[in-house]
Structure 1
Amino acid sequence: MPRLLHYSDIENVYDDPARVARLAGRIRELDGEDALVCGSGDNTSPGVLPLVDRGRQALDFFDAVGTDVSTFGNHDFDYGPAAARSLVADAPQTWVSANVRDEDGGRFAADHVTPYAVLEADGDSVGFFGVTDPATPSLNPMAADLAFADPYEAAERAVAAIRDEGADYVVALSHLGGGDDELARRVDVDVVLGGHVHSERRERVAGTLLLRPGVNGHAVYEVELGDDGAEATRRETAGAAPVAAVESRLRGRIEAAGLNEVVATVETPIERSDQAVHRGECRVGNFVADAYRWASGADVGLQNSGGIRDGPAISGEVTLKDCISLIPFEEPLVTVELTGRELTRVFSECSSATVDFGEPDWWHGHVSGASFVLDEETAAVLEARVGGEPVDPDATYTVATSDYVLHSDHEFPTIEESHRVGEGDILHDVLAEYARECGVSPEVEGRMRRVRGAPADDD
């Protein structure tokens, strides 16, 4: 019976060449004539090295593990459609996408990408199709010129075509995140190899096995296809024998980029995991928001949680590379003007945003210069202050945030392009300059809280 080796959302892993080498080593160890290596998106970006190499560092990894088939995630378009087309043309694997459309409405990179493909393994035929979150143009400004068709209708067409070809098994490569449940209900597939959401998942929906291996290559799934259904085993990458050639090539790329300048030191390590960033106020979120407010002189600094990338704790000497790895996007700091009434809605959206790449209890923002208390059940703002003073609904406040926030309607939809009043430096440059001038010593201060009902009276 054929096996599948599934990785997804490896993103920042390229900034740690030793970890990339172990990930590659584990996949090589598990690979064989009966196996197909599969990627389900966000495997080229973001990160420091992806930013420097425009995602092309992924080619070293793809070649090393012999990836057989891949689809796109939203971050695979971080450097624009032309860069994505170039990378796809040079990559060794088959690329499948049933719902990504080019600037002219045709299939994206039609010479190198197909809606589905049927591959052979261990004497059986396995059909693959790919679908990507249709919200990608909102999530990624660099994909704004592309179109993303309804993924479920596209999946239905692809599955019908694969079945017509007589494939023994059908596999979805999905970067829909929370949409995987609907996908499992709409189409008859043996397994959904998912991504987009960074938490791991292994469960069945409508009789279909749904998998997510998590972020940054800590694990891969080994999937066995069979007549009685698909079965999956999680395989840790820690402890795997590294592929030395991959580690050497990536280290060379990092050294050539000259990113080792020390900008500050940290006495107490600062956690930056998804678990920390999305669970409420945290030190790294405060550091980023404080830097935005300091650089702009705005009343409030605001950072979306998803923009802070998962990685090892920041400790000891803080380098330029560390600052870039936190916010590895070439976008500027912007200043917007909001009324107090609008700002209060933004505070609520720090907790109440509903996005298909998140979990229900996630916090979606971090603030500086402000504090607020939310009702745990309704996300209603029970108390809000800026500069220690209650927010005046009719007053005007300045907020420093990322350019992405103005573009996206999925996080902080209250903030629109019409609110823009200024623009500053690239985000990671702001972090580096703040670190040089002010140091890196953030603390948790009670800026954001959830309570049940009315907050306690402090008097």
Structure 2
Amino acid sequence: MPRLLHYSDIENVYDDPVRVGRLAGAIRSRSGADAVVCGSGDNTSPGVLALIERGRQALDLFRAIDADVETFGNHDFDYGPAAARGVVADAPQTWVAANVVDANGDRFAAEHVTPTTIREVDGVRLGFFGVTDPATPSLNPMAGELVFTDPYDAAEAAVADLRDRGVDHVIALSHLGGGDDELAHRVDVDVILGGHVHAERDERVAGARLLRPGANGHVIFEVEIGSDADGGIDVTRHETAQAPVAEDVVDALEGRIDAAGLDEVVTTLEEPIDRSEETVFGGECRIGNFVADAYRWSLDADVGLQNSGGIRNGPPLAGAVTVADLVSVIPFEEHVVRAEVTGAELREIFRESAAAVVDFGEPGWWHGHVSGATIQWDDDANELLDATVAGEPIDSDRRYTIATSAYLLHTDHEFPTLSEQHRIGEGGIQFEVLAAYARKFGIDAAPDGRIRRIGTNRTPREDTATGADE
């Protein structure tokens, strides 16, 4: 009976070749003639190697696991459509994308990408289609020349086509994240292999088995189709930490790392700095303070602001910190920019640090890290209690400068009050700013109470002035 091996959102795992080797080993050890190896997006970038290789480092993994089908995530366009076309052209798998078109309305990379594909395994016909978050151009400026049509309309057409062609089961490769539930209700699918949101998921929604393996290659799902008399679906979760290492993948990636030349040591740390998702999205933390401090210093702004989602998860910064380490923190070729806002707008921007205000990401996430300012927030009331700049209350009529990522002026998903109309200047590339700051000042940025979250749902430790992760 057919099996699906599902991975997604591995992003910057390529910067740790052994972890990629274990992911490859986990998939290889469960592969076979009855298995279809499936990816649901964000499997080519971001990361240090991705930045250097323009996503082509992913080919080492794709070839090693003999990948079968894949769809696009928003980060698969980090280096523009031309780079994405190049990866797709050289990758072994079939890429499915039902709602991605170019500016002319033609299917993106039509010579290599198809809305649907069919695989026959053990006499069972499996139909696959792919859909990508229509907000991708807002999430990723490099995808701006592409058009992402309504994914549900595209899915309905794809499913109708596959059913007309006599498939036994329909599988969606989805990079819609929270939109997977609507997908399950709108179309007749058996399995949704999801991604985009980095939290694991395995449940039934409107008759479909909806799966997300989480991020960074820690888990793959093995999906057995037709495993009982009713044609049911069984799912097994496999952690990759103890999987055999695919040494050929390790060797290939280590060769790319050696050639990148990013091994300059810029500072040394006595205490490791955590950058796990729990820490970064939990409130004030050392890594967030460091980034915001570096931005504010680089442009001599009143406030430094970094979005939590822009700080990529990975192993703690520890010991000798290299340029490559700092690239891995924020692996984007985007500039730090200087924006000017009124005090009233600045208070609204601070409010938008809370997931409850912007309705983005997981409930309870904290989206902003600041420098030169303090924020006091009530989680129960979803209310900004107090905010200061340079120790003084914010004057609604005064104008303040913010040093932040160019991305935040582009997207309307995070800090929507900020926009291009607020831009008044531009500085260096983000990770270059981090490196320059670390060379001059080192990395300290101990939590100092600049973000305080209070409420009945906060633990006493989180209510202290030292911040959520200390």
Letter in 2 for 1:230: I
1:382 paired to 2:385: yes
Match of 2:351 in 1: 348
Cα distance in 2 between the residues matched to 1:159 and 1:251:
41
Match of 2:22 in 1: 22
Match of 1:41 in 2: 41
Letter in 1 for 2:208: T
Q: Using the TM superposition, name which of 422-431 and 365-374 deviates more.
A: 365-374
Q: For residue 348 of structure 1, report the CA deviation from its aligned partner.
A: 0.4
Match of 1:89 in 2: 89
Cα distance in 2 between the residues matched to 1:38 and 1:217:
13
Cα distance in 2 between the residues matched to 1:355 and 1:174:
23
Determine which of 275, 279, 284 is the counterpart of 1:272: 275
1:448 paired to 2:451: yes
Cα distance in 1 between the residues matched to 2:126 and 2:429:
45
Cα distance in 2 between the residues matched to 1:229 and 1:116:
23
Q: For residue 310 of structure 1, report the CA deviation from its aligned partner.
A: 0.7
Aligned residues: 455
Letter in 1 for 2:81: P
Q: Using the TM superposition, name which of 88-97 and 376-385 deviates more.
A: 376-385
Deviations, residues 163-214 of structure 1 (Å, cap 9, x unaligned): 1111111100000000011111111111110000111111111222111111
1:6 paired to 2:6: yes
Determine which of 322, 330, 335 is the counterpart of 2:333: 330
Q: Would you say the 8 A contact 1:197–1:356 is kept in 2?
A: no
Deviations, residues 126-169 of structure 1 (Å, cap 9, x unaligned): 10000000000000000011100100111111011111111111
Determine which of 300, 308, 312 is the counterpart of 2:303: 300
1:427 paired to 2:467: no
Cα distance in 1 between the residues matched to 2:373 and 2:62:
45
Match of 1:361 in 2: 364
Q: Secondary structure at the match of 1:350?
A: coil
Q: Using the TM superposition, name which of 87-96 and 224-233 deviates more.
A: 224-233
Once superposed, what is the RMSD of the aligned Cα atoms? 1.5
Match of 2:460 in 1: none
Q: For residue 11 of structure 1, report the CA deviation from its aligned partner.
A: 0.4
Runs of 4+ in 1 over 3 A off after TM superposition: 352-357
Q: Would you say the 8 A contact 2:351–2:357 is kept in 1?
A: no
Q: Any unmatched runs of 5+ in structure 1?
A: none
Q: Would you say the 8 A contact 2:222–2:236 is kept in 1?
A: yes
Q: Secondary structure at the match of 1:279?
A: coil
Q: Would you say the 8 A contact 1:300–1:368 is kept in 2?
A: yes
Letter in 1 for 2:329: L
1:155 paired to 2:155: yes
Q: Secondary structure at the match of 2:354?
A: helix
Q: Secondary structure at the match of 1:267?
A: strand
Match of 1:253 in 2: 256
Match of 2:468 in 1: none
Q: Would you say the 8 A contact 1:4–1:36 is kept in 2?
A: yes
Q: Using the TM superposition, name which of 19-28 and 220-229 deviates more.
A: 220-229
Letter in 2 for 1:112: H
Q: For residue 228 of structure 1, report the CA deviation from its aligned partner.
A: 3.8
Q: For residue 450 of structure 1, report the CA deviation from its aligned partner.
A: 2.6
Q: Would you say the 8 A contact 1:334–1:402 is kept in 2?
A: yes
Query: What fraction of aligned residue pairs are identical, expressed as a percent?
Result: 66
- Relative to the length of structure 2, the TM-score reads 0.95
Q: For residue 452 of structure 1, report the CA deviation from its aligned partner.
A: 4.1
Deviations, residues 224-251 of structure 1 (Å, cap 9, x unaligned): 1114432211101111111111111110
Letter in 1 for 2:349: V
1:239 paired to 2:242: yes
Cα distance in 1 between the residues matched to 2:334 and 2:111:
31
Cα distance in 2 between the residues matched to 1:2 and 1:378:
50
Match of 1:211 in 2: 211
Q: Using the TM superposition, name which of 441-450 and 137-146 deviates more.
A: 441-450
Cα distance in 2 between the residues matched to 1:435 and 1:117:
49
